Amino acid sequence: MSARGTRPPVTPRHPERGERSLLFVHAHPDDETVGTGATLAHYAARPDVHLTVVTCTLGEEGEVRVPALEGLAAAEADQLGGYRYWEYRQATAALGVADTHFLGGVGRWRDSGMMGTPANDHPRAFWGADLDEAAADLVAVLRDRAPRVLVTYDPDGFYGHPDHIQAHRVAMRACDLAADPDWRPDLGPAHEVRKIYWTTMPRSIIEAQFDAFASAPDNPFAGVASAADLPFGVPDDQIDAAITADDAATARKRAAMAAYATQIAPGDWLDMLGDKLGADALAAEHYRLVRGERGPVDDRGWETDLLA
């Protein structure tokens, strides 16, 4: 049970149960936009598709890239989580996503900070969550929304952040438990997610970014000898699906990114991504299919519809 002793009910805002729904599990406010914003905006434009975003923490331990707001930081007034919640509302609205849910209720699990930092040991740190307790919160949502597709991170959380790793573990555990009719029938009728994708990035795109940012003041790859040394990305032939958003959806992703002023400041590499590498750097998002049948593929051998 959660620290408050009761599990906040899953608000059946959209008790959609059907073949045209996708559910995304993310760690912090901004991951849904930075990592899958083009995909969310792409599908949000389709009235027949239902989207749910589940976010596991409020991002309390994040940086504050707005000088005037530095007092919100965890080490100061510790109000960043509430502020990022507000940014998240603006960003998900910009993407066109109405069905959003914080795992276990808003504020249940706390941002664990970077691996090895003292925040990992906070009593509510997501990194220290009991796996089945956190998974039970997600099972309740899965059984209510009954998505055909679930999207989350790979076992390394894409880049090794503890909350991303834990989001992966909780999502995969919840998919298994949700499908078991004998496990916690009080959390709703069993539901089997048909397809599971992990976010990823083709090494060819990382190499292009690596070169483009070599001279950037906040080069995200500073100190790294080659793209192959980075803790994320896969060879292009390990990509299973790519969603390339149209201009309208890409613009919605840009607007959502702009909502996260505390995380993405003007001139930051993330802010410059589109300018340096072209709109495709924001428009294209890539996935590995780890459960379910592959749908039709294009000439790259990649699916172009996660619902196929």
Ligand X SMILES: CC(=O)N[C@H]1[C@@H](O[C@@H]2[C@H](O)[C@H](O)[C@@H](O)[C@H](O)[C@H]2O)O[C@H](CO)[C@@H](O)[C@@H]1O
Residue 222 binds: one of ligand X, Zn ion, none (C-beta under 5 to 8 A by kind): none
Nearer to ligand X, 62 or 104 (CB): 62
Alpha helices in 150-291 (DSSP H): 162-178, 203-212, 247-258, 269-277, 280-283
Is 50 marked as binding a ligand?
no
Q: Interface with ligand X includes 59 (CB under 6 A)?
A: yes
Q: Shortest Cβ distance from residue 53 to ligand X (Å)?
A: 15
Spatial separation of the C-alpha atoms in residues 22 and 133, rounded to whole Å = 23
Is 28 marked as binding a ligand?
yes
Is 164 marked as binding a ligand?
yes
Q: Shortest Cβ distance from residue 259 to ligand X (Å)?
A: 14
Question: Which are the contacts of 260, defined by CB distance < 8 A and separation ≥ 6?
Answer: 29, 30, 33, 84, 87, 91
Do 253 and 95 meet the contact criterion of CB atoms below 8 Å apart?
Answer: yes
Q: Shortest Cβ distance from residue 150 to ligand X (Å)?
A: 19
Collapsed DSSP state (helix, strand, coil) of residue 73 = coil
Length of the chain: 308
Nearer to Zn ion, 61 or 99 (CB): 61
Residue in 42, 101, 122, 161 binding ligand X, rule: CB under 6 A: 161
Residue in 19, 48, 63, 211 binding ligand X, rule: CB under 6 A: 63
For Cα atoms 117, 257, 233, give the angle at the middle one, nearest 5 degrees: 60
Spatial separation of the C-alpha atoms in residues 77 and 70, rounded to whole Å = 9
Spatial separation of the C-alpha atoms in residues 26 and 227, rounded to whole Å = 25
Q: Interface with ligand X includes 101 (CB under 6 A)?
A: no
Q: Interface with Zn ion includes 31 (CB under 5 A)?
A: yes
Q: Which H or E run includes 99?
A: strand 99-102
Q: Interface with ligand X includes 66 (CB under 6 A)?
A: no
Residue 61 binds: one of Zn ion, ligand X, none (C-beta under 5 to 8 A by kind): ligand X
Nearer to ligand X, 73 or 208 (CB): 73
Going by C-alpha positions, the residue among 131, 119, 195, 201 that lies closest to residue 168 is 131
DSSP bridge partners of 149: 22, 195
Residue 62 binds: one of Zn ion, ligand X, none (C-beta under 5 to 8 A by kind): ligand X
Q: Interface with ligand X includes 121 (CB under 6 A)?
A: no
Q: Which stretch binds Zn ion (CB under 5 A): 26-34, 48-56, 127-135, 241-249?
A: 26-34
Query: Which chain residues interact with Zn ion by CB under 5 A?
Result: 27-28, 31
User: Could you tell me which residues are annotated as the binding site for Zn(2+)?
Assistant: 28, 31, 164
Contact residues toward ligand X (CB under 6 A) are: 28, 30-31, 34, 59, 61-63, 111, 113-114, 161
